[in-house]
A and B are shown apart, each in its own frame.
Chain A
Amino acid sequence: MQDVNWVALTIFVLLFAFITWLGFAAAHWRKGDLNLLHEWGLGGRRFGTVVTWFLVGGDVYTAYTFIAVPALAFGAGAVAFFAVPYTIVIYPILFLVFPRLWQVCHKHGYITAGDFVRGRFGNRWLALAIAITGIVATMPYIALQLVGIQVVIGALGISGTGLGADLPLIIAFAVLAAFTYSSGLRAPASIAIVKDILIYLTAFAAVIVIPIELGGFGKIFAAVPAQKLLLAVPGPQTTGAYGAYATLALGSALALFLYPHTLTGILSASSGRVVRRNAALLPGYTFMLGLLALLGFFAIAAGVKGLPEFAAGFKQFGNNFAVPALLLHGFPSWFVGIAFAAIGIGALVPAAIMSIAAANLYTRNIHREFINQNPTDRQEAQMAKWVSLIVKLGALVFILFVPTKYAIELQLLGGIWIIQTLPAVMLGVYTRWFNSWALLLGWAVGTYAGTAMAIAAELKPAYPLAFGGYTFPGYTAFYTLLLNLVVAAVLTPLFNAMSARKPAPDQTVAADYQA
């Protein structure tokens, strides 16, 4: 361990110790009985505007985002900036759709998307499909957060192979598991506040200090090779990079709030109004994300890839090493410790929320639905606590033993799968017109087609849809969503006509959706 950056490591460890304490202390914050699932799993629905801002921000802007988006800018150029339009269009969606979902979930005590679908459509199989999709899509995402921690730990100089090198990650995992178990959602909510302050600090410092070091924005952009600076203009007969960029942004935006962890963040708010206010305030994070994407370009201009001290890092982590290298290069060690702690903590927060969300789904929509129909409150909460532990353990094992590239590919598939829940969840908030079996079939078709298309495209996000002599490369998830909707829409009148039975009861009424 001769190359360890001791100053940075010390600060890193100190900050981690602080948030560990905070995670456990959080159990006493806005006190509630943590043996009730909605207290453990939704923080008792007590989070006001400011806390929700930190929590949902922590959901959306994960450590993986901070490492991977600049890495993409570093490697591929302008296309990485899709993250900005993506995060611009999510907020209208948040503003319009989700206060309604919050209202109806609050009224009926729904904790998960599966609960809502079950109540709205009366079809337990559709709810099961939603729940399984949610769990399966979340797991690679958790694994990728652990990758974020791995990268900064490697950058601190702790390297080598075998158990010694994996130990910091295992410790971080153990800490995460412990405070999530004891405090539930309150833990990541309180830590998110610390994390976001650190991240903002780091981002602003990086965007001001590094350009000064490098001689100004003009010089930085001049260092970026021309073909990476802008999107490639499409050739004839194809929408080329434009189609890919726009659909990637829109598709990711639609998918984001369907992920269980974002939904959990939203449902833990204290009112629909809090949700709407946040739709106006959260773009602050987007601004920061745009700045962070530019870090990838700073890294190009700084020439970090060519520097010998970073060779090992780039070898091990590929382009993901761009941001750590840039920070190490441009800042004194003590600041690097803060920055890396920000990223590391920035991994723990979403990992915690994701595991809680997945646990909520399993407990309510799989276990309670099919295995034990009448759990006591205590049993429910206990089950969720165990499941969140198992989910995290699964992610850890995955990261330790499976090459990172598979995690990335699985996450991509996860995005395709989760978007298939849009008709039932997001449209279900507005209308009960769709037949629940048609929705289920739409989901199945979309999932199958999406997986097939992704494999055909060799697990790259964009699929070239060829049509009448034109090619439309676009985000696979987006196309399959359209397919899903068409199937559901076509089959609805058909199934309704075929079925002699009355449709299953809708537990909700129109008034439930209004504030």
Chain B
Amino acid sequence: MLFLVQFIAVLWPPFYNSAEPYWMGIPFFYWYQMLWVLISAVLTALIYWATTHK
């Protein structure tokens, strides 16, 4: 149910609809979502390892 985290993190726009803080000139709104792409891939991979090597 770790998956729920990534659902909530990205499906709640008020949470991240802001331009500050900038990173490398990119507004928060954008790099936050991109970061979650990476986080969710890692999470999925973890869950895969955890459930496949019983």
Contact = CB atoms under 8 A, between A and B. Distances in A.
Do A and B bind?
yes
A91 B25 contact: no
Given A230-B18, A242-B17, A280 B41 contact: yes
Contacts of A290: 30, 33-34, 37
Nearest to A249: B11
B45 to A, nearest CB: 4
Contacts of A88: 6, 10, 33, 36-37, 40
Contacts of A78: 17, 29
B40 A221 contact: no
Contacts of B24: 217
Contacts of B34: 84, 287, 290
**Interface core residue of A88, A96, A283 (most chain B CB under 10 Å):** A88
A218 interface: yes
A230 B27 CA distance: 9
A249 B40 contact: no
A283 B25 contact: no
A246 B13 contact: yes
Nearest to A86: B10
A509 to B, nearest CB: 22
Nearest to B29: A230
A273 B6 contact: no
Interface in A203-236: 216-221, 229-231, 233
Contacts of A242: 13-14, 17
B17 A283 contact: no
Nearest to B2: A92
B16 to A, nearest CB: 10
A276 interface: yes
Contact of B44 (A221, A249, A280): A280
Contacts of A219: 25
Given A84-B33, A89-B6, A218-B22, A246 B44 contact: no
Interface residues of A, number: 39
B25 A280 contact: no
B50 to A, nearest CB: 11
Contacts of A241: 13
A91 B44 contact: yes
Contact of B19 (A89, A229, A273): A229
A442 B44 CA distance: 33
A231 B29 CA distance: 9
A363 interface: no
Interface string A73-100: 0000010010011011101100110000
B11 A85 contact: yes
A286 interface: yes
Nearest to A226: B19
A233 B25 contact: no
B25 to A, nearest CB: 3
Given A88-B36, A220-B25, A249 B41 contact: no
A355 B22 CA distance: 44
A279 interface: yes
A250 interface: yes
Interface in A184-211: none
Given A280-B45, A281-B41, 19 more contacts: A78-B17, A84-B33, A84-B34, A85-B11, A88-B40, A92-B6, A92-B44, A95-B3, A96-B3, A216-B25, A221-B25, A229-B27, A229-B29, A241-B13, A242-B17, A276-B48, A279-B44, A280-B41, A287-B34
Interface of B: 3, 6-7, 10-14, 17-19, 22, 24-27, 29-30, 33-34, 36-38, 40-41, 44-45, 47-48, 52
Interface of A: 78, 81, 84-85, 87-89, 91-92, 95-96, 216-221, 229-231, 233, 241-242, 245-246, 249-250, 273, 276-277, 279-281, 283-284, 286-287, 290, 294
Q: List 5 tightest A-B contacts by C-beta distance, closest first.
A: A218-B25, A217-B25, A92-B3, A85-B10, A283-B41
15 contacts: A87-B37, A88-B40, A91-B40, A92-B40, A95-B47, A220-B25, A221-B26, A221-B27, A229-B29, A231-B29, A242-B14, A280-B48, A281-B41, A284-B41, A294-B30
